[in-house]
Amino acid sequence: MNYKLTIQYDGTRYDGWQRQGNTTNTIQGRLEETLSRLTGETAQVHGAGRTDAGVHALGQVASVRLSGGWAPGELMDQLNRYLPQDIAVVDAREADGRFHARLSAVGKTYRYSIRLGCVPDVFRRRYQLPVEEPLDLPAMEEAARLLTGRHDYRSFCSNRRYKKSTVRTVDTIALRREGAVLTITYHGDGFLYHMVRILTGTLLEVGLGLRPAGSMPDILAALDRQAAGPTAPAQGLTLVSVDYPAL
């Protein structure tokens, strides 16, 4: 049976989503280890997005095939019983046999959270980037507008050896301030390695007056990672949700 799992996790203490040969401390690794212990079979979990070390998720989606015929609700309950407290399966359902969490996805939403000012939020410090200097939000919004659309985002990809197309459609880059919290929400059909964090780092440079908002087209045209801003720290980023075609 093919299962679709929706997963939340606090990525603070993990080395990212993807299983790695040099560490067992990944989200995928913990899920596969727990599933194998429960079912007695080798489980291979496919995630919709390979979030980096320290990145969080509200709605990561994974697919896994199991031969035991578990009821989705029972599988979810048992996983939540044995998974670490900072990983939770919030939904489980039977999926079409062709469903693959990554290959079937048609869009993703990410959110980057920033704490403005010099007063920290003790309870959200692991999920926000502190920025004490004032930000020019209208300039950041103008830069975001220029970065939205269908472009070649090679300048916003950390993998210099990436051989596939770096053209993506980002239809939303929305800034919203509520008190001392600024969130930047991104929605697109796909994102390159570190792309959201580099976009955020570049927008922050605009907000701090370190580069003009109007320079975004030049950065895109450069097709060079060195033309864009820094990679924003991981802790402010959350994978919010993954889109799939309507059944």
Asked whether this chain's domains 2-94 and 107-243 adopt the same fold, the reply is yes
**Would you call 52 a catalytic residue per the annotation?**
yes
Percent of the chain with pLDDT over 70: 100
Domain spans in the chain, listed from the N-terminal domain onward: 2-94, 107-243
One DSSP character per residue, 106-170 reads -EEEEEEEEEESS---GGGGGG-EEE-S---HHHHHHHHHHH-EEEE-GGG-S-TT--S--EEEE
Q: Which residue has the higher pLDDT, 125 or 160?
A: 125
52, 86, 121, 189: which is the annotated catalytic residue?
52
Per the CB < 8 A criterion, the answer to whether 132 and 118 are in contact is: yes
Alpha-carbon distance of 151 to 123, in angstroms, equals 37
Which CATH fold topology does 107-243 show?
A: Alpha-Beta Plaits (3.30.70)
Q: Assess if CATH 1.10.10.10 describes domain 2-94.
A: no
Alpha-carbon distance of 53 to 64, in angstroms, equals 22
Average pLDDT over residues 170-180: 97
Q: What is the pLDDT of residues 113-133, one digit of tens each?
A: 999 999 989 999 999 999 999
Q: Which structure tokens are listed for 227?
A: 């033309």
Per the CB < 8 A criterion, the answer to whether 181 and 113 are in contact is: yes
Per the CB < 8 A criterion, the answer to whether 98 and 180 are in contact is: no
Phi first, then psi, for residue 108 (nearest 5°) are -140, 150
Alpha-carbon distance of 200 to 236, in angstroms, equals 10
Residue 247 pLDDT class (50, 70, 90 cuts) = low
Residue 82 pLDDT class (50, 70, 90 cuts) = very high
Average pLDDT over residues 71-100: 96
Count Cβ atoms below 10 Å from residue 24 Cβ, excluding itself. Answer: 12
> DSSP class of residue 213?
G
At a CB cut-off of 8 Å and minimum separation 6, what does 84 contact?
A: 30
Calculate the CA 219 to chain-centre distance: 23
Question: What per-residue confidence (pLDDT) applies to 23?
Answer: 76
